A and B are shown apart, each in its own frame.
Chain A
Amino acid sequence: MKLTEKDVRYVADLANLKLSDDEVARLAHDLDEILTHIDTLNELDTSDVQPMAQVLYDSGETATLREDVERPPLGNQAALANAPVAGSGYYKVPKVIER
């Protein structure tokens, strides 16, 4: 086993995921299986290989800079329209700091 249920609970905490005991057990099994498969990558010697982050089309260094012109923003009301709880122009969340 590469991964215990304790590991799963630790990772779930990092990922901010609340899991049931059943889910923890199932994930421990599933992730262990996937990680074992992933180990096949170690058959490849990559010591001299440059990592590839993504595909990029060659262009000038400043090509992505645009003209510095003002553009209308989305606006407070539209930005908050999907908030589960909003008020006074802000997102509302449970109290973080106690007085």
Chain B
Amino acid sequence: MSASVSGLAALTVDEIRKGLAARQFSAVELAQSALDSARAENPKTNAFLTFSDERARKAAQRADQMLAAGADPGPLAGVPLAVKDVIVTEGVRTTCGSRLLEHYVPPYDATAVRRLEQAGAVIIGKTNCDEFAMGSSNENSAYGPVHNPVALDRVSGGSSGGSAAAVAQGSVVASLGSDTGGSVRQPASFCGIVGVTPTYGRVSRYGLVAFASSLDHIAPFGRTVRDAALVLQSMAGRDECDATSAFAPVPDYLASLDGKLKGVKIGLPREYFDGLASETGDRIERGIATLRKLGCEVKEISLPATKYAVACYYIIATAEASSNLARYDGVRYTSRSESQTLGEMYRATRGAGFGAECKRRIMLGTYVLSHGYYDAYYLKAQKVRALITQDFKKAFEEVDAIVTPVSPFPAFKIGE
């Protein structure tokens, strides 16, 4: 075991680049420190489900060799990274937080993973999450909840709780999560770090195990905005393996980090500020005061369809999930409950493999798509989605950005 790299928990991507260039530490030492930290914290936080020592060592050695040869090792060279366990990694077990996939070892890498490794990142492991990303407290994982590193008796948030905790506890510099209805933004908020859910289509979902395809995003966590921007930069852009990935050119995110905020118009949608917990309200008021001090013009706006968003989401997300999760039938993905007939085998495998929340969502999704109900539910929800979108389009004619609390309350206690 190598000597631990001092200050691992506070290192940024830029500091790693400088440290490697100055030979203060090697990428292999850094990877070992990250793995040691992740293993030491895991009995407390349960952030990791699988460690990828071998893969990390290879990536770190490659970075060290390139540095020694004077070559450019990439913008994320040596940066220890964790990946949510719904994003596939070749040769490294990917469970989706489900018993069904306890022994699933994917034969390929997600595009986001491949691009980050090409940029020099060192993936040290796969992180805990709600089963198939369904949840917002990480208590729906088949492998136990993630404990918030800031207060261990509290939830990490979810569904990307492990990825948020891995960054917050200082074991990795950044991580990947997935966000379908807040699953990166909310755990980032609960753990006190940065999470950026980019525009739909910005990051390829090739290799992201599908939950609700019209809403799924891959998104980064970091301790600083700059680190999250660097990770997003390295994985964003069109990918021919994902037909929904956007052709839009990728902007230089770092270039816009130092801009002036004077005169920027900020909208505060009043519907998002109802019934906030006092801690949450105080925090966001302080944030808004800072924006004002920096010269932003802050004004109240309205997004009137907000109260319908959750019902709309519940139809669209579960309908798409019921279809996407149909593939776990006992034929292809490691788990099977043996039965006499094919139909019995499907039903037994799925009945035994899925947890309660997955079953609930598969059932609701199947119901809203079933004969005679499609127009009343799925089509209706798609129309309401159009109304919600119109709200935002109208708002952005008035303001440059919208500021809201991520959640109406801070991280709650596990089991509450």
In the complex formed, the residue of A with least CB distance to B215 is A54
**Binary flags per residue of A61-99, CB closer than 8 Å to B gives 1, else 0:** 001101000000010001101111100000101101000
Within 8 Å CB of B335, what residues of A?
84
In the assembled complex, B104 has its CB within 8 A of some CB on chain A: yes
Within 8 Å CB of B336, what residues of A?
84-85
A41 lies within 8 A of B107 (CB):
no
B341 lies within 8 A of A78 (CB):
no
- Known A-B contacts A15-B362, A37-B311; the reply to A94 vs B104 at CB < 8 A is no
Name B359's contact: one of A19, A37, A63, A79 (CB within 8 Å).
Answer: A19
Name B387's contact: one of A31, A44, A79, A91 (CB within 8 Å).
Answer: A44
In the assembled complex, B290 has its CB within 8 A of some CB on chain A: no
B199 lies within 8 A of A94 (CB):
no
Please report whether the interface of chain A is mostly helix, strand, loop or mixed according to DSSP.
loop
Q: How many angstroms between the C-alpha atoms of A42 and B381 in the bound complex?
A: 10
Within 8 Å CB of B386, what residues of A?
49-52
Per the CB 8 Å criterion, the residue count for chain B at the interface is 70
- Known A-B contacts A34-B314, A38-B314, A66-B240; the reply to A51 vs B383 at CB < 8 A is yes
Q: How many angstroms between the C-alpha atoms of A44 and B366 in the bound complex?
A: 24
A94 CB to closest chain B CB (Å) equals 5
**Binary flags per residue of B285-321, CB closer than 8 Å to A gives 1, else 0:** 0000000000000000000010110111011000000
Please report whether the interface of chain B is mostly helix, strand, loop or mixed according to DSSP.
helix
Q: Which of A1-34 contact B (CB under 8 A)?
A: 3, 7-8, 11-12, 14-19, 23, 27, 30-31, 34
A17 lies within 8 A of B354 (CB):
yes
A27 lies within 8 A of B383 (CB):
no
**Binary flags per residue of B366-393, CB closer than 8 Å to A gives 1, else 0:** 1100100000010111111111010000
Q: Which of B309-352 contact A (CB under 8 A)?
A: 310-312, 314-315, 322, 326, 329-336, 338-348, 350-352
Q: How many angstroms between the C-alpha atoms of A35 and B376 in the bound complex?
A: 11
Q: How many angstroms between the C-alpha atoms of A63 and B333 in the bound complex?
A: 33
A/B pair count, beta carbons within 8 Å: 152
A17 lies within 8 A of B340 (CB):
no
Determine which residue in B108, B305, B384 has the highest number of CB atoms from chain A within 10 A of its CB, and name it: B384
A82 lies within 8 A of B367 (CB):
no
Q: How many angstroms between the C-alpha atoms of A83 and B334 in the bound complex?
A: 5
Q: How many angstroms between the C-alpha atoms of A84 and B385 in the bound complex?
A: 40
In the complex formed, the residue of B with least CB distance to A27 is B363
In the assembled complex, B273 has its CB within 8 A of some CB on chain A: no
Q: Which of B212-246 contact A (CB under 8 A)?
A: 213-214, 240, 243-244, 246
B364 lies within 8 A of A34 (CB):
yes
- Known A-B contacts A17-B363, A31-B360; the reply to A38 vs B315 at CB < 8 A is yes
In the assembled complex, B276 has its CB within 8 A of some CB on chain A: no
A54 lies within 8 A of B244 (CB):
yes
Q: How many angstroms between the C-alpha atoms of A7 and B366 in the bound complex?
A: 12
Q: How many angstroms between the C-alpha atoms of A84 and B366 in the bound complex?
A: 26
In the complex formed, the residue of B with least CB distance to A7 is B367
B185 CB to closest chain A CB (Å) equals 17
- Interface pairs (6), CB distance under 8 Å: A12-B363, A16-B329, A41-B311, A64-B240, A82-B332, A84-B331
Q: A27-B360, A37-B311, A46-B383 are in contact. List 15 more A-B contacts (CB 8 A).
A: A11-B367, A16-B347, A17-B347, A17-B351, A37-B314, A38-B315, A49-B387, A51-B382, A57-B248, A74-B107, A82-B103, A82-B334, A84-B331, A94-B341, A94-B342
Q: Which residues of A contact B (CB under 8 A)?
A: 3, 7-8, 11-12, 14-19, 23, 27, 30-31, 34-35, 37-38, 40-44, 46, 49-57, 59, 63-64, 66, 74, 78-79, 81-85, 91, 93-94, 96
Q: Which residues of B contact A (CB under 8 A)?
A: 103-108, 199-201, 213-214, 240, 243-244, 246-248, 305, 307-308, 310-312, 314-315, 322, 326, 329-336, 338-348, 350-352, 354, 356, 359-360, 362-364, 366-367, 370, 377, 379-387, 389
